[in-house]
Structure formats: structure tokens, C-alpha cells
Chain A
């Protein structure tokens, strides 16, 4: 058990540390990479929870596919280094009070969630959690088949919409989608 506990703290430190750095440091490309680091730390935690499938999907979908898209957008827009904005409006007493209140509310919610987490079971009552790939597959395609198909149709519609929007602008300039 001791070794797993050490690993837990290592992965937790990676996840929390990189997430903090995403916000704190100002270079947008570095932020994207640190977010990937945070996802990998999370994937490590999933492995410790004996959910290797979730861990690998976390890396493929979030750290792999989605963050590549983020990286491309940040790189190709050539986003500049973020400047720290100093203005009288941001430093007035009223904005500080509102910000402080929001922070307090978040802290209270977090504390509430942490105290409740012990009473919440891992899954709904009467259901055994699915760990292995065949179990997860059977759940998705049998019990939750409708929800799964509905989600995929939603994503398909979004894709067709994106292509239509992108293609319309191109043809106005006298170029086809392949031009």
C-alpha cells in the first residue's frame, strides 16, 4: 500500500501543480502544455483507482485529440504573451470586494463538496461499477444505448454545421472548399 500512496501524492502533485501554473504563468503555449501535464497526472490517478480504461481514454481524448486542437489554435493565432492589466477600475475597492466574495463562495462550495464526498457511493445504489473494457462496452451499448446514439448524432450535426459554415465563406471568395 505504501508505494501506491507515494504514487498518489506524486500524481496529485503533478495534477495540482501544473493546473496552478496554467493560470499563473503568462505564455499561452506553455499553458496548453501544462494543461496536458495536468491531464496526464489525472490519468495516473485513474490508474491508481484501478480504472485503466478511463485513464487511457483520458490521454487519447483529452491529452491527445482535444489539446492538439487547442495547441493549433493558440499557435496559429500567434497569441501573444498575456500582459498584466493595471487599471484603476480593476484595483478599486468594489471590484476587490466582489472578487473576495466570489472566492469565499467557491471555497465554501469546495469544503461542502469535500465533506459530502464520503457519503456518496461510487455509483448508483444496486449497480456494480464497471471496470473492464467488455463491462463498459456492454453498459454503453445495451443499457445506455439510446443516450450513446443520441450523443453521436448530436456530434455529427455539429460537424456538418461546422463544415457548412466554413464552406460558405470560402465559396463567397470564389473558391471551393478544395480551392
Chain B
């Protein structure tokens, strides 16, 4: 007899996989629609009602294209790079919880957590997987054997390594507050209080939240920090030579990384599935709403702010964000130690 809890966990795993894939499609639609509205256009309207089937059309278009590989490229690494990018994007989401423990309406004897894996070093896991994501980009740039690709990859990895420090420092401040590295534990530490809202870490960590989101945008290579693919200077950066489905995998990785950063920000600062009105077992609606808002914020920012200059980006990361995050961590630690926050 197979353990029903194990079946439930496999179902959750498949569910997360399918949801991440479809969230990328949803993001493509949202990106196009919001961009169009900001520029006073209509956006996609022809494919399906309100253009809702546009992502499907995009996927079919990408899949039908010829997969071109430059003659001088390293064939193994050229094929491997988009796989690394997409795989690390999926793997990071494994430790993110999206709802309270549930028995699925009494279907199971014991409650299962709504997440793929609840590990006690979850935060470090996210950090480790993001640091592996750099390889996808570096290898894509190098194996293409093209100067634009290589320059884009170098910029991108320098940017990711620089902002990873502030990212980690912001995470550490939350660890100090919650006293645990499990993301589920951090979310549970934020439950209760006034309307299930007043104990969110956002209220005691506003600077931490700002640092985390800024570093998160830089980590995912989105505007206004989208240097790796600054069109005017580098054609398309590290994925200049990619076409068809291997390009689609980089595209997918970028959107899934955005979803992961938003989901982690939601869990760490916005109380995860905690929220007023809705009962505990519907908490995932709050989770989806908060992640959705942060994703909208990503798109909103892209079409509002112009791109930084590269030296400004580096100066901002090293001379402003990193010192600020160190001060934030020290102040948080002192607060916990002397005032028992």
C-alpha cells in the first residue's frame, strides 16, 4: 500500500511545476498588456478574448523557428547553458511554502505542508541555487563564441555577484528576527497580531525589504538593471546567438526567477499566506495576491524607469546598497539583543 501522504507530496510537486510553467505564460501576457497600457496602446487583442491566448501563440511561434547554432560554438555547453538556467530557476522554488498545512478536507490522516520540501536551511538553499544560476548565463556567453554574448555574460555575472551580497545581508536580518532558516518557520513567525497584518516583517524591516527587492531586480536582470541585454550596446547580451526553444528556455528562466523572488519576498516580509478575513485553509489566495502584486510591480518598474549606466549600477551596489544592508543587519541584531524585538 502506498502512503497517501507521499502521493499528496508528489501531487504538490507536479502542481508547483505546472503552476510555474503557466505563471511564465501569464507573465508574458501581463507584461505585454501592462506595457501597452503604460504606452497608451491596447496590447494583444486578436488571439482569443482580450488577447488571452497570445502566450500560446508566442510559444508556437518560438517552437516553429529553426534552432540555429553558430559554427564556432562549443556544442555541448551551448546546449547545456539554457538547461542550467531553467533548471536552477525551478529548483529554487522548491523550498517556498504557499499555504498553511492542510489535510485536503480530511482526505489525509496527517496534515501535509503546501510546499515541495520544508528544509531547515531553506534560505541558504535559495542562496546556493541562485549562485548556480550564474553558470547558465556565463556559459551561454562563452560557448556562443561571439563578442556581444561574452560581454553580456561578463556584465551579468559581475552584476549578479555584486548584488548577491546585499541580497544575502537582507536575508540575514530576517533570519535574526525569526530565529529560523525554514521559510515556513519565518512565515509562521509573522502570523497573528492585528488583522494578521501587524506582525509582518515589512513593518520592522522596511529598509531590508527595499534592499531585497532592489537586489532581487538586479539578480533577475530586469529593468532598470537589465544590463546583460542592453539592446543599444550589446544586441541581446548573453542570449544573442540563441534562437527557437533554447532561447525560450532563457525567457522561461527569467520569468520563473521573477516569480521566485516575488514569492520569497512575500514569505519573508509580507507574511506569506497570513492575511485578514480569509480562513487559514484559503491562505494561498493571499499568497497568490501578494505575489501577483509584486510581479505587477516588476513590470510597472520596467516601463517606468530608464536603464542605469553600468558604472552607476556598480557604484550603487557596492557603495550604497551593501553598506546600507550591513547597517540594517547590525541595527536588527542590536534590536533583537537589547530590546527583544
Report whether B124 and A68 are in contact in the complex, using a CB–CB cutoff of 8 Å: no
Question: Is A133's CB under 8 angstroms from B121's CB?
Answer: yes
Within 8 A of A (CB), among B106-126: 119-121, 124-125
Q: How many A-B residue pairs have CB under 8 A?
A: 53
| Cβ A68 vs Cβ B138 within 8 A | yes
B121–A60 touching, CB < 8 Å: no
> When the two chains form their complex, are residues B127 and A60 in contact, meaning their CB atoms are under 8 A apart?
yes
Once the chains bind, are B124 and A60 in contact (CB under 8 Å)? yes
Distance of A10 from chain B, by nearest CB (Å): 17
Which of A50-58, A95-103, A152-160 is the contact stretch? A50-58
Closest to B74 in A: A29
- Using known A-B contacts A68-B138, A71-B135, determine if residue A56 contacts B125 with beta carbons closer than 8 Å: yes
- B80, B120, B138: the one contacting A71 at CB < 8 Å is B138
Q: Residue on A with the closest CB to B158?
A: A72
Within the complex, the shortest CB–CB distance from A62 to chain B, in Å, comes to: 10
Residues of A within 8 A of B132 (CB): 59, 63-64
A75 interface residue per 8 A CB criterion: yes
B135 contacts across to A, CB distance below 8 A: 33, 36, 68, 71
Judge if B329 is at the interface, Cβ distance under 8 Å. Answer: no
Q: Is A132 on the interface with B (CB-CB < 8 A)?
A: yes
- Size category of the B interface is 20 to 34
A59 to B88, CA, bound (A): 13
Instruction: Please report which residues of chain B, range 89-137, place their CB below 8 angstroms from some CB of chain A when the two chains form the complex.
Output: 119-121, 124-125, 127-129, 131-132, 134-135
Across the interface, B157 reaches (CB within 8 A) one of A59, A68, A133, namely: A68
User: Does A68 lie within 8 Å of B134, measured CB to CB?
Assistant: yes
| Interface mask (A55-86 → B, CB under 8 Å = 1, otherwise 0) | 01101100111001001100100000000000
Q: Please determine whether A53 and B161 come into contact, CB atoms closer than 8 angstroms.
A: no
Whether B138 and A52, one on each chain, are in contact in the complex, defined by CB atoms closer than 8 angstroms, is: no
Q: Which of B128, B139, B161 contacts A59 (CB 8 A)?
A: B128
CB distance from A79 to the nearest CB of B (A): 12
Scoring B77, B124, B125, B129 by chain A CB atoms within 10 A of each residue's CB, the highest score goes to B124
Min Cβ gap B129→A in Å is 8
Tell me the nearest residue of chain B to A71, going by C-beta.
B138
User: Does B181 reach chain A (CB closer than 8 Å)?
Assistant: yes
Residue of B nearest to A69 (CB): B161
Chain A contacts of B161 at CB under 8 A?
68
Contact A75 B128 (CB under 8 A): no
Q: Does B142 contact A (CB under 8 A)?
A: yes
Q: Closest residue of chain B to A53, judged by CB?
A: B121
Bound Cα distance from A29 to B81, whole angstroms: 13
CB contact list, A23-41 vs B, under 8 A: 29-30, 33, 36
Q: Which residues from B are CB-within-8-Å of A56?
A: 121, 124-125, 127-128
| Nearest-neighbor residue (CB-CB) of A76 within chain B | B154
Please measure, in the bound complex, the distance between the C-alpha atom of A53 and the C-alpha atom of B129, giving whole angstroms: 14
Find residues 3-23 in chain B having any chain A CB closer than 8 Å to their own CB: none
B residues in contact with A30, CB < 8 Å: 76-77
B112 to chain A minimum Cβ distance, whole angstroms, is 19
CB-CB nearest in chain A for B139: A33
**When the two chains form their complex, are residues A133 and B131 in contact, meaning their CB atoms are under 8 A apart?**
no
Bound complex: CA A36 to CA B84 (Å): 12
The residue of chain A having its C-beta at the shortest distance from the C-beta of B77 within the complex is A29
Could you tell me the distance between the alpha carbons of A63 and B80 in the complex, rounded to whole angstroms? 17
In the complex, chain A residues whose CB is within 8 Å of the CB of B74: 29
Do A64 and B157 form a contact, CB below 8 Å, given A29-B74, A56-B121, A71-B135? no
Selected contact of A133 from candidates B80, B120, B129, B139, CB within 8 Å: B120
Can you pick out 6 interface pairs between chain A and chain B where the beta carbons lie within 8 Å of each other?
Answer: A30-B76, A56-B124, A57-B124, A64-B131, A64-B132, A68-B138
